[in-house]
């Protein structure tokens, strides 16, 4: 089996792994609904994320035609606005783009910058092309290539996304490392033969006892240091 010395390209999940998705959504909801209590903000954030996961799941199961993340986020924003009593159209439209203004984790920008000096770095996201472009610019994320599920009209963990990343990297799957804070994402990558690295993040999806990912790291600095020492 190939080891960390054999990695030729690194693919990163974006939402939750490199940017703080729950924190960014909470901040946007607080701004859109002044005076909203923290408990209510947390409930609205959870409602948003559950709706997005449900609709992406419906797409994956063939129960809904593919819709971009922008479309689904706009639907989630309208639901949140209805629950919060927000009626201003401009406010709702601004809230719908909250997913394009998510803050990076404190080690994301420096970690990507270090890694990109030695290895090809690829972003692989369920965000639409436009949303991914704006999010990358807002958060200051450095890529050599950023890939959206919109290119294959699917959402992770559909195999088409990992195959897209492997083809873009131009190496055999066992030489391409998938990095994510979500065990479900890494399981999808493993089914396509990619190497896998879990990075711990708040609100992530940690591995279970039945998972056997190649590496687990407490943060991005630890991952980058391991790759730099190849």
Asked which of 15-19, 35-39, 77-81 is least confident by mean pLDDT, the reply is: 35-39
Q: Does residue 13 carry a pLDDT above 50?
A: yes
Q: Does residue 229 carry a pLDDT above 80?
A: no
CA diameter of the chain: 57
**Average pLDDT, stretch 149-170?**
98
User: What is the structure's pLDDT at 34?
Assistant: 85
Q: Does residue 203 carry a pLDDT above 80?
A: yes
Q: Does residue 122 carry a pLDDT above 80?
A: yes
pTM: 0.94
User: What is the structure's pLDDT at 90?
Assistant: 93
Q: Does residue 14 carry a pLDDT above 70?
A: yes
> Residue 35: left if φ>0, alpha if ψ -120 to 50, beta else—which one?
left
On whether the CB atoms of residues 200 and 12 are closer than 8 A, the answer is no
On whether the CB atoms of residues 10 and 115 are closer than 8 A, the answer is yes
Closest listed residue to residue 106, CA positions, set 19, 25, 178: 19
* Average pLDDT value over all residues in the chain: 95
Q: Does residue 113 carry a pLDDT above 50?
A: yes
Q: Does residue 1 carry a pLDDT above 60?
A: no
- What confidence tier does 2 reach under pLDDT thresholds 50, 70, 90? low
Contacts of residues 152-157 at CB distance under 8 Å and 24 or more positions apart, as own/partner, are 153/66, 154/59, 154/60, 154/66, 155/56, 155/59, 155/60, 155/126, 156/13, 156/124, 156/126, 156/185, 156/188, 157/184, 157/185, 157/187, 157/188, 157/189, 157/191
From the number of C-beta atoms within 10 Å of its C-beta (0-12, 13-18, 19+), residue 195 rates as buried
pLDDT tens for each residue of 212-225: 999 999 999 999 99
At 77 the three-state DSSP class reads: helix
Q: Does residue 180 carry a pLDDT above 80?
A: yes
């Amino acid at each position: 089996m190939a080891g960390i010395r054999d990695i030729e390209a690194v693919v990163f999940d974006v939402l939750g792994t490199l940017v703080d998705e729950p924190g960014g959504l909470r901040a946007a909801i607080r701004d859109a609904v002044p005076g909203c209590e923290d408990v209510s903000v947390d409930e609205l954030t959870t409602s948003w994320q559950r709706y997005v996961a449900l609709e992406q799941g419906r797409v994956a199961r063939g129960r809904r035609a593919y819709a971009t993340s922008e479309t689904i986020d706009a639907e989630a924003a309208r639901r949140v606005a209805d629950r919060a009593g927000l009626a201003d159209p401009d406010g709702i439209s601004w809230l719908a783009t909250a997913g394009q203004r998510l803050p990076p984790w404190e080690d994301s920008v420096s970690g990507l910058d270090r890694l990109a000096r030695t290895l090809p770095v690829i972003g692989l996201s369920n965000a639409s092309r436009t949303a991914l472009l704006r999010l990358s610019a807002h958060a200051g994320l450095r890529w050599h290539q950023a890939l959206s599920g919109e290119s294959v009209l699917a959402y992770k963990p559909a195999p088409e996304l990992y195959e897209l990343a492997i083809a873009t990297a131009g190496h055999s799957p066992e030489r391409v490392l998938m990095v994510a804070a979500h065990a479900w994402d890494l399981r999808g990558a493993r089914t396509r033969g990619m190497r896998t690295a879990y990075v711990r993040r708040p609100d992530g999806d940690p591995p279970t006892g039945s998972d056997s990912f190649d590496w687990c790291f407490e943060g991005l600095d630890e991952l980058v240091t391991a790759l730099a020492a190849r």
